[in-house]
Structure 1
Amino acid sequence: MSVGEVAERVGISQATASQQLTLLRRGGVVTSRRDGKTVFYRADRDGALAALSDLQSYLATCC
């Protein structure tokens, strides 16, 4: 989805969606590709699973 599509679906501004998607991309949870001026994002299954595994491990030791 494009940044605009994500923003519309979740009810936030495009600027906020772009900032959040950038963080998710840096964390490996989503991937992006550019087509002209539009950036499209897609969930990265392996990255999301790794992030969830890391969170689960952290919660098992911290709490």
Structure 2
Amino acid sequence: MKDQLTPRKMLNLKQVLEIVPFSRSTVYREMEEGRFPKAREIAPRRIAWYEDELTAWQLALEGG
């Protein structure tokens, strides 16, 4: 288990779109429908995703 004091890497939308083959609208739709990790509001008008949650989502797609 990760150390509680080790920061988790956060990704902005551009970085997420470089990882997953989705359009911006698909990311938001899948997130709204609960099939994609939720973004966190980190500042007014700024959101980010935790990289480890995206990795877990990818592994779940593979059944692993």
TM range (shorter): 0.3 to 0.5
TM-score normalised to the size of structure 1?
Answer: 0.43
More helix by share: 1
TM-score normalised to the size of structure 2?
Answer: 0.43
